């Protein structure tokens, strides 16, 4: 797969583009939601599915909320609740949860993780000192480990080191992702029970953080914040070819349309000047969008971890 996507649903969509059927061998898909928010639950069932989808066996839920961009707080609240429900569906009952916010707070499209952390209702330190203030809350701790380029330490190593001391029985990692589609940027949340490779959104992939490497179950929550330049170029070429084909006949355009897709993608990657690999494609109002989506994700996690706490109460905990 030459085009980068971190979303299982986009891998499925790529399959559907050329397949004659909606059924993907080794993969189950289920849709849910309402007119504002669409939920898709993709499960990779076995190695056959993994091979096709390019994702490890496990559950991948996407919550898509196109109108989140228009900033209605009712949509944001609903999105938090849907996230909470889907997250709860993946969690078993836990004693202590560690939430890790991955990414670089100084690079806006990579700052989702660090922005979520201070919005969480964190309680672990209050359990011994002020137990009465948190008796209706679950034990939660959090960490923004930073990025390899700044720390010199793999994010997974930091999480493992801290996890070995605080002994959580669940780790939730939050990170920015890369999408194939501009319209998904900051409007889609993916929840996966297979862990994550940090730095997918911006920069190179790093060592995977999952149950195997950390030692306890890992749930990953990711939001696409960038589209990479090669994807933009590729998609545009596809659109150009489509437009040309629709408007014309003849041998040339037949040929054009029949260019092998794989080959074309490879060609584009090769042709891109090296400066391009340091560029990211991101919405103009990414600063505001990242604040908004961080709020949605943090509240979703708060609601899932602290059962029976209202959104009003969450606000009073998180200054």
- Subset of residues 161 to 190 that bind a second copy, contact rule: CB under 8 A: 161-166, 182-183, 185
Place of tokens 């090296």: 274
- Subset of residues 22 to 41 that bind a second copy, contact rule: CB under 8 A: none
153 binds a second copy (CB under 8 A): yes
Give min distance, CB of 148 to a second copy, in A: 5
Please say whether the dihedral angle defined by the alpha carbons of residues 182, 231, 283 and 120, taken in this order, is positive or negative.
positive
240 binds a second copy (CB under 8 A): yes
- Subset of residues 203 to 222 that bind a second copy, contact rule: CB under 8 A: 203
Contact residue for a second copy among 5, 186, 190, 282 (CB under 8 A): 282
Q: How far is CA 177 from the centre of its chain?
A: 5
Q: Is 305 exposed, middle or buried (0-12, 13-18, 19+ CB in 10 A)?
A: buried
Reference 99, options 294, 313, 265; nearest CA is: 294
Compute the chain's Rg from CA coordinates: 21
Reference 38, options 145, 257, 212, 190; nearest CA is: 190
How many C-beta atoms lie closer than 10 Å to residue 181's C-beta? 16
- Cα 103 from Cα 146, distance rounded (Å): 6
Give min distance, CB of 174 to a second copy, in A: 14
Contact residue for a second copy among 243, 245, 248, 257 (CB under 8 A): 243
How many C-beta atoms lie closer than 10 Å to residue 93's C-beta? 8
Reference 279, options 178, 147, 190; nearest CA is: 178
- Subset of residues 55 to 84 that bind a second copy, contact rule: CB under 8 A: 70-74
Give min distance, CB of 136 to a second copy, in A: 16
Contact residue for a second copy among 229, 296, 301, 303 (CB under 8 A): 229
Contact mark string toward a second copy, 109..138, x via CB under 8 A: -x------xx---xxxxx------------
Give min distance, CB of 149 to a second copy, in A: 8
**Which residue's CB is nearer to a second copy, number 8 or number 305?**
305
Reference 207, options 222, 194, 196, 192; nearest CA is: 196
Give min distance, CB of 210 to a second copy, in A: 17
140 binds a second copy (CB under 8 A): yes
Contact residue for a second copy among 268, 297, 301, 305 (CB under 8 A): 268
């Amino acid at each position: 797969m030459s085009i980068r996507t971190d979303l299982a649903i986009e891998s499925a969509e790529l399959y559907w583009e050329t397949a004659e059927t909606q059924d993907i061998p080794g993969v189950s898909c289920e849709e849910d939601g309402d007119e504002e928010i669409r939920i898709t639950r993709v499960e990779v069932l076995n190695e056959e599915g993994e091979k096709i989808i390019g994702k490890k066996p496990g559950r991948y839920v996407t919550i898509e909320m196109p109108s989140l961009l228009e900033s209605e707080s009712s949509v944001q609240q609903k999105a938090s609740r849907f996230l909470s429900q889907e997250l709860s569906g993946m969690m078993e009952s836990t004693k202590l949860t560690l939430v890790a916010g991955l990414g670089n707070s100084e690079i806006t499209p990579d700052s989702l993780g660090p922005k979520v952390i201070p919005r969480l209702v964190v309680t672990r330190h209050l359990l011994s000192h002020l137990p009465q203030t948190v008796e209706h809350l679950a034990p939660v701790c959090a960490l923004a480990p930073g990025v390899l380029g700044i720390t010199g330490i793999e994010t997974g190593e930091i999480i493992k080191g801290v996890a070995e001391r605080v002994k959580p029985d669940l780790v939730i990692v939050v990170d920015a992702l890369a999408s194939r589609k501009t319209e998904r940027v900051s409007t889609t949340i993916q929840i996966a029970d297979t862990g994550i490779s940090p730095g997918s959104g911006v920069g190179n992939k790093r060592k995977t953080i999952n149950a195997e490497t950390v030692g306890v179950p890992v749930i990953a929550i990711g939001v696409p914040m960038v589209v990479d330049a090669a994807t933009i170029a590729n998609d545009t070429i596809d659109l150009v070819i489509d437009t040309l084909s629709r408007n014309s006949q003849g041998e040339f355009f037949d040929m054009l349309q029949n260019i092998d897709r794989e080959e074309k993608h490879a060609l584009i990657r090769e042709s891109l000047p090296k400066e391009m690999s340091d560029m990211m494609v991101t919405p103009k109002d990414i600063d505001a969008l990242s604040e908004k989506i961080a709020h949605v994700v943090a509240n979703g996690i708060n609601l899932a971890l602290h059962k029976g706490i209202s959104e009003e109460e969450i606000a009073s905990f998180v200054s």
